[in-house]
Structure 1
Amino acid sequence: MAKSITEQCLANNQNYAKGQAVHRPAYPGKQPIQPARRLAVVACMDARLDVEDLLGLQTGEAHIIRNAGGVVTDDAIRCLIISHHLLDTNEIVLIHHTRCGMLAFTDDLLKAGLEGDPAAEKLLGQATGRAFVNCGRCASTPSAFHAFRGQIEPLDAPRDEKNMERLAWDVRRGMSSILNHPWIPTGGPDAVTVRGFIYDVDTGKLEEVSYPGPMGSIG
């Protein structure tokens, strides 16, 4: 049986983690609009993730959807629906990563700091290692920052059992949001597959997150 595109990307990642270049940066010439490998990836915007490199993807092979945290937001769902139904992708990969900034705050904390709460400013400054400058105003948007559940930690903290658990919680929440969306089919002839991973920024390796499983606690 032929390997799925996701499995091929995992094999590429093993080579990438060994220091081998698997992405070709040269302009490939004219290509069709549909991604050649029928793959869509939702990943964090973190500068340490080069998604095409770490998955061994070439230009034109996949849709890459990125935001802070690699969170499955309304806009990510919008992109995935268009990607699948109009542009023929049928495999979805979610990628979170270690040392993620989304582990260092809560939505309420960041909003309070932006609005000018001194206690929030102090905590955010301690977490980020830089002076947090408030804006002194409240705003209705964004309605959420989608910080990860659980107790906050300093920015860029090394991986440990607790923050890996928090990352896995959010990967599963994203997978659940996709798998249970009425416009993203998971059965029948038009079905998509969904798999989630945590990328270790210190090793270059992807680690798969099991699903279903725990999706988090606010404590």
Structure 2
Amino acid sequence: MSTPTPAADGFADLLAHNAAYQAGFTDGGFDGIARAGVAMVTCMDSRIEPLGMIGLRIGDAKILRTPGGRITPDALVGCVLGVHLLGVERILVVPHTRCAMASGEDADIVDRARAATGEDLSDLSIGASPDQHARLVEDVALLREHPHLAGRVQVGGFLYDVDSGALTQVL
């Protein structure tokens, strides 16, 4: 197996920004425990700033991001480990308004990707559904009833409005 060659300049701008970031970096030395006892599962959408929306900062919470803010198998493992090893006492599940994953079913997302790029993504389980509330109920129930989490953690379901910044508890 060959080792991929780094793109010579494809990331240069980001590395330059990181150099400036390092110069003022003062947040080192944390132990990885969620100081506020919080974990959040939210969408990968770039309009969401998870820590800022709930008044927390680096080191306070575990943030897990998935398409649509769904509880995927990896997100579930992250929640379980957060509760058992990293000080998590509360989990927020936070989908958001105007989410692409709420704009149709998996087949609709696959069709859009095919139209945009020609690529067939039908082998992926995407987790899209226009019934965002039903998905949230399902994901919150999964966490509340999971044998490694039930009785160990508070779980809430929320909706984040990307246009107003409002976070509303739904469950």
Normalised by the length of structure 1, the TM-score is: 0.62
Counterpart Cα distance in 2 of 1:50 and 1:113? 26
Q: 1:209 offset after TM fit, Å?
A: 0.6
Q: Distance in 1 between matches of 2:67 and 2:55?
A: 22
Give, in whole Å, the separation in 1 of the partners of 2:157 and 2:93.
Answer: 5
Question: % of aligned pairs identical?
Answer: 28
Residue identity in the other structure for 2:40: V
Residue 172 (str. 1) matches residue 137 (str. 2) = yes
Q: Any conservation in 1 of the 2:106–2:126 contact (CA below 8 Å)?
A: yes
Tell me the residue number matched to 2:161. 200
Look up the SS of the partner of 1:194 in the other structure.
Answer: strand
The DSSP-based 3-state class of the residue aligned with 1:97 is coil
Matches of 1:112 and 1:60 in 2, distance apart?
A: 39
Matches within 5 A, 1:140-179: 140=123, 142=124, 144-148=125-129, 150=130, 166-179=131-144
Amino acid at match of 1:184: L
CA deviation after TM superposition for structure 1 residue 76, in Å:
0.7
**CA displacement, residues 161-190 of structure 1 (integer Å, 9 cap, x when unaligned):** xxxxx322221111011111111132xxxx
In structure 2, how many angstroms separate the alpha carbons of the residues matched to 1:170 and 1:27?
39
The 1:44/1:91 distance shift into structure 2, 3 A limit, reads same
Counting matched residue pairs gives 148
- Does the 8 A contact of 2:93 with 2:157 survive in 1? yes
Could you tell me which runs of 5 or more consecutive residues in structure 1 were left unpaired when the two chains were aligned: 1-24, 122-131, 151-165, 211-219
Could you tell me which amino acid in structure 1 is paired with residue 32 of structure 2? I
Moved more, 168-177 or 62-71: 168-177
What's the CA shift for 1:93? 0.6
Paired residues of 1:97 and 1:200 also in contact (CA < 8 A) = yes
Query: Is this contact kept in 2: 1:40–1:80, CA < 8 A?
Result: yes
CA contact (8 A) 2:143 2:150 kept: no
Distance across 2 between alignment mates of 1:138 and 1:52:
32
SS in 2 for 1:92: strand
- Tell me if structure 2 keeps the 8 A contact 1:196–1:209: yes
CA positional deviation for 1:105 = 2.8
The offset of 1:42, in angstroms, is 0.3
Q: CA–CA distance in 2 between the matches of 1:104 and 1:81?
A: 29
Instruction: Indicate the residue corresponding to 1:18 in structure 2.
Output: none
Task: Tell me which of 114, 134, 147 is aligned to 2:118.
Answer: 134
List 4+ stretches of structure 1 deviating above 6 A.
none
Aligned-partner SS, 2:95: strand
Alignment-derived partner of residue 65 in structure 1: 64
